[in-house]
Amino acid sequence: MVGGGEGAPDKALSTAKMLLKCMKVNEDNIFTPITDTFTDTRPAVNCKETVEKVKALAEFLNK
């Protein structure tokens, strides 16, 4: 999922969790969601914390 703006990601995350549950996805196979706010004024790539989380996601997917 991706989004922009400065809103809280809570609703999007709860919707994604519900969809994954409906698809019977094991929670052990789900990476912790990565969120970043204010991307309408600052690209996510400019946030060091977000970039590090994306790198960890790439490692998780390559296991």
> Could you tell me if residue 17 is inside a domain?
yes
Q: Give the total residue count for the chain.
A: 63
Does 51 fall in a domain?
A: yes
Residue 5 lies in a domain: no
4, part of any domain: no
| Structural domain count of the chain | 1
3 domain-assigned: no
> Is 11 exposed, middle or buried, given 0-12, 13-18 or 19+ CB atoms closer than 10 A?
exposed
pTM: 0.65
**Domain of 24, in residue numbers:** 10-61
Q: Which two tokens stand for residue 19?
A: 């969809």
pLDDT (tens digit, 9 = 90+) per residue, 2-61?
Answer: 666 667 788 888 888 899 889 998 877 788 888 888 888 888 899 999 999 999 999 988
Gap between the Cα atoms of 12 and 8, Å rounded: 9
Q: Is residue 36 part of a domain?
A: yes
